[in-house]
Amino acid sequence: MGAWLSCRLLWLSTGLAVIGSLAAAAGAAETPPNVLFLFADDMRSDSIGALGNPAVKTPHLDALVRRGRSFTNAYCLGGNSPAVCTPSRNMLLSGRAYFRWKDFTPPNGRRGELAPGDGPNFPLSLSAAGYVTYHHGKRGNTAPLIQARFDVNKYLANDEAERRSGEPGQEIVDDAIQFLRERPKDRPFFLYLAFGNPHDPRVAAPAYSQQYQPERLPLPKNFRPLHPFDNGEMTVRDERLSPWPRTADEIRRTLHEYYATITGLDHHIGRLLHALDELELTAQTLVIFSADQGISVGSHGLLGKQNLYDAAMKVPLVFAGPGIVPGVSEALVYLFDVYPTVCDLVGAEVPQDIDGRSFRPLLRGVGDTFREELLLSYRDVQRAYRDARWKVIRYPRVNVTQLFDLQQDPDEIHDLAGDPAQQTRLSQLLERLAALQRQFNDDLPLTVPHPASPAWTPPRE
């Protein structure tokens, strides 16, 4: 009897321990993760070492890529102003394409350059889910009406001074680390750190700039001295930062500044990730890294982001943290899909009636496709369509069309629009472009009755 009772008690205690472990695991699973969203400014999708760039030095972002899931076809939809950062950040935080804002007139009187703070948005959704929300970022060309909805809403003391300090990202990271040490412990946090780097002016301390030899930096594969025709925005501020025609030495000088600034930003991001480790928060924190858009820096004879080539509209996008299956996805996604995706991941209510859609299954390693096609747009001068393989760019003001086979030509070097064998395909893709325009409420005609000449001569400066 004694032996039987001992066995019975052992079985009971073991069963209770198992039940307790399962309950604890369930409780842990129900605890939403913290969210740290690191958002760069003007950062190309190919400007992280672990994503295939052997020239740039980004050890901390490389480590994040290795433990996370990267998206190689993440896009900013585009912009309705030359400062593409403004619509990009508004779309990111609202989940809406900028075409939805046509009738909104901000205080400065310029229509369509700011999204209203009404309706669902990132800070409101996570606040409703119990998060303490924190924003710190650049002041100019951003989303102030939505950012005002964060519990803590901070701006750089001076955007220009910060960019010239030689320590890109330090001010934002210093304050974020202080917040993490002093944060409320009874609520998860959502930190949206909207850096102003590596946007120009690009100044990096010697510790970062001396890691590079400018003369040895490889040029972009699609480098050319001049863009072959007038794309409708040839002399915008960004394009005047270097003389025409672009020379190899000038682009290498620009790349040196660009990469050194990224290395400096990477250093300070590393400090923040180390603080997560010290505070034992890494295992329970979802870390996201992305950027508002890319930038040309010599690709196609251009410098800025006022175009629809992949160098300008494709961005890095990395998720790492609890529940994220490491790997790489080639699925087509928009930046404004990030907002509903994070809501879906953390158990917040997924917003309805927005353009963004959750790609949570991809982060769990389920499936390999998401959107079948994308619309890209720049002001009233450029429209583009891409699917898993093909991309067409239309310039209605000058009646120019480009067609690229991204499977065979990922750098968009060989324009196939004039190939007789591709004319049926080209017509079909232009029809899909027009259909997507209707879907997004974009009413720009793809053909004008009296197109201008595509010929372009650089100004004499």
Mean pLDDT throughout 164-190? 97
Output DSSP code: residue 361. H
The CATH number of the structural domain formed by 375-439 is: 3.30.1120.10
Q: By C-alpha distance, which of 154, 114, 120, 121 is closest to 138?
A: 154
Q: Helix or strand or coil: residue 444?
A: coil
Longest dimension (CA), the chain: 104
The model's pTM = 0.91
> Which residues have C-beta within 8 Å of that of residue 136, sequence separation ≥ 6?
152, 154, 155, 156, 172, 175, 176, 191, 192, 193, 194
Write out pLDDT tens, residues 336-379. 999 999 999 999 999 998 999 999 999 999 999 999 999 999 99
CA distances from 30 to 33, 81, 106, 284, 345 (A): 9, 42, 40, 12, 11
CA distance 203 to 218: 20
> Which residues have C-beta within 8 Å of that of residue 83, sequence separation ≥ 6?
113, 141
Instruction: Check whether 18 has a pLDDT greater than 90.
Output: no
Where do you find CATH 3.40.720.10 in the chain? 32-371
Asked whether 370 and 362 are in contact (CB, 8 A), the reply is yes
Asked whether 194 and 137 are in contact (CB, 8 A), the reply is yes
Which pLDDT score, from 0 to 100, does residue 31 have? 86
CA distance 408 to 389: 9
CA distance 103 to 119: 15
Which pLDDT score, from 0 to 100, does residue 100 have? 86
Containing 39, the helix (H) or strand (E) segment is strand 34-40
Which pLDDT score, from 0 to 100, does residue 20 have? 37
Q: By C-alpha distance, which of 94, 150, 141, 148 is closest to 338?
A: 94
- The two three-digit tokens of residue 118, written as one number: 């009404």
- The two three-digit tokens of residue 271, written as one number: 């400090």
How is the beta sheet containing 78-79 ordered, strand by strand? 78-79, 374-378, 382-386, 390-395, 400-405
Domain 32-371 matching CATH 3.40.720.10: the answer reads yes
Containing 318, the helix (H) or strand (E) segment is strand 317-320
pLDDT band at 101 (very low <50, low <70, confident <90, very high): confident
CA 314 to chain centre: 8
Asked whether 120 and 88 are in contact (CB, 8 A), the reply is no
> Which residues have C-beta within 8 Å of that of residue 423, sequence separation ≥ 6?
none
Mean pLDDT throughout 143-166? 97
Q: By C-alpha distance, which of 192, 147, 190, 244 is closest to 456?
A: 244
Write out pLDDT tens, residues 219-235. 999 999 999 999 999 99
Which pLDDT score, from 0 to 100, does residue 119 have? 79
Write out pLDDT tens, residues 382-395. 999 999 999 999 99
Which pLDDT score, from 0 to 100, does residue 7 have? 38
> Which residues have C-beta within 8 Å of that of residue 249, sequence separation ≥ 6?
none
- The two three-digit tokens of residue 404, written as one number: 């690229």
Q: By C-alpha distance, which of 302, 283, 307 is closest to 376?
A: 307
**Percent of the chain surpassing pLDDT 90:** 88
CA distance 135 to 176: 9
Mean pLDDT throughout 306-324? 98
Strands (E), 198-306: 285-291
Which pLDDT score, from 0 to 100, does residue 117 have? 62
Where do you find CATH 3.30.1120.10 in the chain? 375-439
CA distances from 234 to 41, 96, 227, 255, 388 (A): 21, 28, 9, 20, 29
Q: Helix or strand or coil: residue 34?
A: strand
